Amino acid sequence: MIPRTMRPFFPALGLIAVLAAICAIVHLMGNGELEGILTEALIYMVMVVALSIFVSNSGVISFGHVTFALIGAYASAWQTCCSGIRGVFMPGLPEFLLHADVPIIPASVAAALTATAVAAIAGLIIMRLSSVAASIALLSLLFVFKTIYENWSSMTAGQSSLVGLPLYVDLWAALAWVAVTIVAAQIYMSSAHGLRLRAAREDEVAARAAGIVVWRERLIAFAISAFFFAIGGILFGHFLGTLAVSIFWLNMTFLTLAMLVVGGLRSLTGAVAGTLVVAAVRGFLRALEQGIHIGGATLQVPQGMQEITLAVVLLLILVYRPQGIIGDRELGLAAAK
């Protein structure tokens, strides 16, 4: 039984507890490879929960959030990357960044705020469009920034990779950011802004008639969501240790959206569960592509089956269970009733 005063926070706290337990178990198993897969999954979870702040509450599908991961990851690299030889990779950096040695957490927050600022400015225009047009405009936003970053060699190393980002993201760092993101998503959802935006999602015309300024509510959710999606991108950079613009493109867009849709577009629990399920399927397929030894036999599928299978799984879920595996339920709410 959950005490009454705790209920508004419950899905968030319950989810964090479950995730912490999973992390503890995997850590105790001492399998480094598995721990790496889980860390990557948690980084994706930051992005998926961030995406859900905007998509789940507004009902507008975004194909452009990866833009903020791109902006955040590079902004963090500008502050922390490759001590000493930063100027070799990125000679165009302004003086105050060239020799700055910003601690990782303030650097992450500053980088994510940069992405938020871009989101706020672009959102001023995009959030006024109809929801289908906004989805397309968001994709063009990603297009714009990918093109800029690919050609802005003095700041991003252009088409080649940046190497030497500090590798500080382990299982616990990722889990901590997941926890922060989930709590933020929960607070937004239960706020008046979240309620207004969901009202507009259910019936935009009626919401307008009730005095809700739909584009403003969308913009608020968009900015918060961009902040945490950027955090996801930053974590990804400091998990891999290298950055290339091509990481932040359609694969990441597809994967994060698939994770959100598989779990269910309408609940926080769905975003978390979807990420874990898709990451597990992906990890399994990746292992299959390399070959799994069972007894004397080797089970192996050709390279490329991973993407095809994921796309087919997503389509099957969309056709047979469009509300996702979780639907609009939340963890623990049934027990609380």
Partner 1 sequence: MNQIQLLADAVSLGSIYALVALGIGLIFGVMRMINFAHGDLIMLGAYALVLPTAADFAPPLIGAWPAVAMIAAIIAIVAFAALLTERFAFRPLRRREVDGATLLISSFAISYLLQSIVLFVHTGRPKSVSIFPALMRQVELAGIRISLVDVVTVAATALLLLALGVFLRRARPGLEVRAAAEDFIMARLLGVKADRVIALAFALSGGLAGVVSLLYVSKTGVLDFQMGVPLAVAGFVGTVVGGMGSLLGAVLGGFALGVASTLLQALLPEALQPSRDAFLYGLVILVLFFRPQGLFAPRAMGERI
Q: At its nearest, how many Å lie between partner 1 and the CB of residue 63? A: 7
- Rank residues 292 and 308 by Cβ distance to partner 1 and give the closer one: 308
Residue 131 sits in the site that holds partner 1 (CB under 8 A): yes
- Rank residues 235 and 261 by Cβ distance to partner 1 and give the closer one: 261
Residue 139 sits in the site that holds partner 1 (CB under 8 A): yes
- Rank residues 263 and 332 by Cβ distance to partner 1 and give the closer one: 263
Q: Report DSSP state, residue 247.
A: G
Do 51 and 260 touch, CB atoms closer than 8 A?
yes
Do 263 and 44 touch, CB atoms closer than 8 A?
no
Residue 278 sits in the site that holds partner 1 (CB under 8 A): no
Do 67 and 118 touch, CB atoms closer than 8 A?
yes
| Interface of this chain with partner 1, residues 51 to 70, rule: CB under 8 A | 59-61, 63
Do 177 and 46 touch, CB atoms closer than 8 A?
yes
Residue 154 sits in the site that holds partner 1 (CB under 8 A): no
Q: At what angle do helices 192-202 and 171-190 cross, to 10 degrees?
A: 70
Q: Site for partner 1 (CB under 8 A): which residue of 104, 129, 325, 333?
A: 129
Residue 307 sits in the site that holds partner 1 (CB under 8 A): yes
Stretch that binds partner 1, among 76-84, 118-126, 277-285, 326-334 (CB under 8 A): 118-126
> Nearest 10 degrees: CA dihedral of 222, 227, 232, 233?
100
Q: Site for partner 1 (CB under 8 A): which residue of 150, 168, 241, 333?
A: 150
237 Cβ contact partners less than 8 Å away, ≥ 6 residues apart: 73, 74, 76, 77, 165, 243
Do 38 and 22 touch, CB atoms closer than 8 A?
yes
Residue 254 sits in the site that holds partner 1 (CB under 8 A): yes
- Rank residues 189 and 314 by Cβ distance to partner 1 and give the closer one: 314
- Rank residues 116 and 306 by Cβ distance to partner 1 and give the closer one: 306
> Which 3 state secondary structure label does DSSP give 127?
coil
